[in-house]
A = this chain, B = another copy of it.
């Protein structure tokens, strides 16, 4: 077994986010051989030393678990949240200086991995709408990349879960003050926090994880919108408009072709009402987007970037192997 393995090449791929980091190792035929999960790895929120430990731990685990040896590893594609600018990439690269991994490391941001998971490594745009929001585009022919948005909850994140949740809270406060219409959101949000009175919502300021906790309120806005609450519907309409403006801006910077691939990613699109609102509005303005929701996770996108760069063409056989072996990897978990 060890001997046979030693003859084949291997690629390591990592998708690192604000809450967890996933690592896989695969071969040149699309077989995902092993998977490991660690904690968050964003260098802007976690100490660099801890990020290094998280990354090396999960990389070692997939190497050992898959019975691989270091010499087999062609490349290590680290696609990490917070790896946006050259300086970020330089910092991460430096963590691996004088280690056995140094020569194999490639650094991209996590949006690139998510995009590749929707396009199987081809050109396209990705709209990520979760706690935050960002549009990322890459052309594999020109190598040109674009990003729009993703400036965080204070400077940007229009149309995101945070944006929706915060507008819901503000609507509840305005309604309480008699300077905004009554809304079902009041009861739903008070129940969610198990509070009796609207002014008690200011407790949010002393809580932890305030940004993701506000973003989670978007689920409540979806519920109220399903009951046709006009305030909830207006919030979602504004969010959809902001997201479409981001896609438009990125598309104009990135593409000249008639049909663009647009990958939808992030928690908001798992709600069918929100997805349909978005698609309905987008189609009424633009007919030239081929909409894709990824069938494989972002970490496999990172793996696709790796094998693609080694000159491997991602054909139907490889796609089939990926799907099967990924299911198996998860089944064994």
Chain A residues at the B interface, C-beta cutoff of 8 Å: 44, 84-85, 148-149, 151-152, 154-156, 158, 166, 169-170, 173, 177-179, 199, 201-202, 204-206, 210, 214, 245-246, 248-249, 252-253
Q: B178 and A249: CB pair below 8 A?
A: yes
CB closest residue in chain B, given A147: B177
Interface contacts beyond A149-B177, A178-B253: sample of 13 additional A-B pairs, CB < 8 Å, sorted by A: A151-B173, A151-B201, A151-B202, A154-B166, A154-B205, A155-B169, A155-B173, A155-B201, A156-B170, A177-B246, A178-B249, A179-B246, A179-B248
- For the complex, what is the distance from the CA of A250 to the CA of B210, rounded to whole Å? 29
- Given contacts A177-B246, A179-B246, is CB(A204)–CB(B170) below 8 Å? no
- For the complex, what is the distance from the CA of A156 to the CA of B177, rounded to whole Å? 11
Q: Which B residues are in CB contact (< 8 Å) with A158?
A: 170
- Given contacts A155-B202, A202-B155, is CB(A178)–CB(B210) below 8 Å? no
Q: B210 and A154: CB pair below 8 A?
A: yes
Q: Which B residues are in CB contact (< 8 Å) with A154?
A: 166, 169, 204-205, 210, 214
Sample 29 A-B pairs with CB under 8 A, ordered by A number: A44-B205, A44-B206, A84-B199, A148-B177, A148-B178, A149-B177, A149-B179, A151-B173, A152-B202, A154-B166, A154-B169, A154-B204, A154-B205, A154-B214, A155-B166, A155-B170, A155-B173, A155-B201, A155-B202, A155-B204, A156-B170, A177-B246, A177-B249, A178-B249, A178-B253, A179-B245, A179-B246, A179-B248, A179-B249
Q: A179 and B148: CB pair below 8 A?
A: yes
* A234 vs chain B, min Cβ distance (A): 16
10 tightest A-B CB contacts, nearest first: A179-B249, A148-B177, A178-B249, A179-B245, A151-B173, A155-B169, A155-B173, A156-B173, A177-B249, A152-B205
- For the complex, what is the distance from the CA of A44 to the CA of B203, rounded to whole Å? 10
Q: A199 and B246: CB pair below 8 A?
A: no
Q: Which B residues are in CB contact (< 8 Å) with A177?
A: 148-149, 246, 249
Q: Which B residues are in CB contact (< 8 Å) with A199?
A: 84-85
Q: Which of A177, A206, A214, A252 gathers the greatest number of chain B CB atoms within 10 Å?
A: A177
Q: Which B residues are in CB contact (< 8 Å) with A246?
A: 177, 179
CB closest residue in chain B, given A85: B199
Q: Which B residues are in CB contact (< 8 Å) with A202?
A: 151-152, 155
CB closest residue in chain B, given A198: B151
Q: Which B residues are in CB contact (< 8 Å) with A248?
A: 179
Q: Which B residues are in CB contact (< 8 Å) with A148?
A: 177-179
Q: Which B residues are in CB contact (< 8 Å) with A206?
A: 44
